Structures are given as structure tokens and as C-alpha cells.
């Protein structure tokens, strides 16, 4: 899914290079800003998820250690 999105974005930005007038188009500028915000939210969500998984794995390891429950 992520690789498909990246390929699509590459095609969009390649098209922009071929049509310089798009770079100043208000709708396209809004699209770029929105995509940037979405990328930042995805990155933040990945960090949160990875942190939660690490915490869970650490908690499970603590339970496995002898003498701890």
C-alpha cells in the first residue's frame, strides 16, 4: 500500500515538472500541503505504533523472567 502511494506521488510530481504552471496553481499548492500533512500524520502514527509494540514486547519479556509475575 505504501509503495503504491509513493509510486503515485512520484508520477504526480513528475507531471508537475513537465507543466510548470501547475507549481503556482492554488489547488495544486493546497494538494501539496495536504499531502505533506498526511505524510507527517502517517509518520507520527508509525512512531506511536512502534513504541506501543516495543512497550508490549518489553512487558511480555518481564513476565517471562523467572520469579516475576
The model's pTM is 0.65
Query: Rounded to the nearest 10 degrees, how much is the dihedral formed by the CA atoms of 25, 27, 32, 36?
Result: 150
Q: What is the pLDDT of residues 15-69, one digit of tens each?
A: 777 777 777 788 888 988 998 898 899 999 999 999 999 999 999 998 887 765 5
pLDDT, residue 14, reads 76
Closest-CA residue to 12 (of 42, 35, 38) = 35
Amino acid at each position: 500500500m505504501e509503495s503504491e502511494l509513493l509510486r503515485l506521488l512520484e508520477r504526480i510530481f513528475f507531471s508537475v515538472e513537465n507543466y510548470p504552471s501547475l507549481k503556482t496553481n492554488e489547488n495544486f499548492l493546497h494538494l501539496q500541503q495536504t499531502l505533506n500533512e498526511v505524510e507527517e500524520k502517517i509518520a507520527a502514527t508509525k512512531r506511536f505504533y512502534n513504541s506501543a509494540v516495543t512497550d508490549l514486547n518489553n512487558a511480555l519479556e518481564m513476565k517471562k523472567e523467572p520469579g516475576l509475575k
